Amino acid sequence: MRAGRIPPDPSVQEMIEWIASRYHMNKSSLSRMFQTTPSTIHSWLKSGKISFKNLKKIRVGFYYLHNTTDPHASERKCSECGKWLSISFFREGKAICRSCENGKTLKYYWQNREEQLKKRRSKNWYNRSKKHA
């Protein structure tokens, strides 16, 4: 990254590598900065998989060091559709937005509709056979 230029949506690896190279930090220093372990930093760099809570920490640090504000500070990126949406569009602890989640649920429902209906019919009290007649 050139000085003064911030990519529109940097990856976790890009942000961590920029901080490390710009401020001459190793994994131990980064782990103290983000209050985690060096092996976790290594994992983030290798896989790119990171929790939303830790991603917010890294984004805040990255944009603070660039002396700007995070354009997606009150938003979250849906892992299914890839759009940045308000946090209110996500259920607690979910990485996909409600619309993607509803779409997946509907798709599953229609694929397994007959089986689900059969299960529901057997659970209803009025469909049970009377054994004590």
pLDDT tens, residue by residue, 77-107: 998 999 999 999 999 888 899 999 999 988 9
For the chain, the first-to-last Cα distance in angstroms comes to 80
Residue 38 placed within a domain: yes
Residue 109 placed within a domain: no
Is the predicted pLDDT of residue 126 greater than 70, yes or no?
A: no
Q: Is the dihedral of CA 72, 75, 76, 77 positive or negative?
A: negative
Higher pLDDT among residues 118 and 57, named by residue = 57
- Is 90 in a helix, a strand, or coil? strand
Number of independent structural domains in the chain: 1
For position 41, which CATH number holds?
1.10.260.40
Q: 12 near 48, Cβ under 8 Å? A: yes
- Domain span including residue 26: 12-73
